[in-house]
Amino acid sequence: MTEHTQGADIAPAGPSTAEAACAQAEAAQREAYLESLKSQIRSGVYQPDIRDLARSLASMMVQKL
């Protein structure tokens, strides 16, 4: 006798419409933020947060170990 799991033949659904919209909004915000940073760097007014840079560099170093 074979057992049939209910719903086993249904493919899993992809991200919901709300999730997709949220991802698009986040991508747009990230793109705007990066463009702002690029503009600041080009104009010479960018002042990085030293602690943020140190945290970022440390996390990259740990990943490589």
Q: Could you report the per-residue pLDDT of 3-48, keeping only the tens digit for each?
A: 555 655 665 566 688 898 898 989 999 999 999 999 999 999 999 9
Q: How far is CA 48 from CA 19, 34, 52, 53, 54, in A?
A: 32, 13, 8, 7, 11
Q: Name the nearest CA neighbour of 17 among 9, 8, 28, 25.
A: 25
Between CA 47 and CA 6 the distance in angstroms is 58
Q: Say what the pLDDT of residue 8 is.
A: 56
Residue 63 — pLDDT band, cuts 50, 70, 90?
confident
Q: Where are the domains of the chain?
A: 17-64
Checking if the pLDDT of 53 tops 80, the result is: yes
User: Rounded to two decimals, what is the model's pTM?
Assistant: 0.53
Which residues fall within 8 angstroms of residue 29, CB to CB, at 6 or more apart? none
Which tokens hold the place of 10?
């249904």
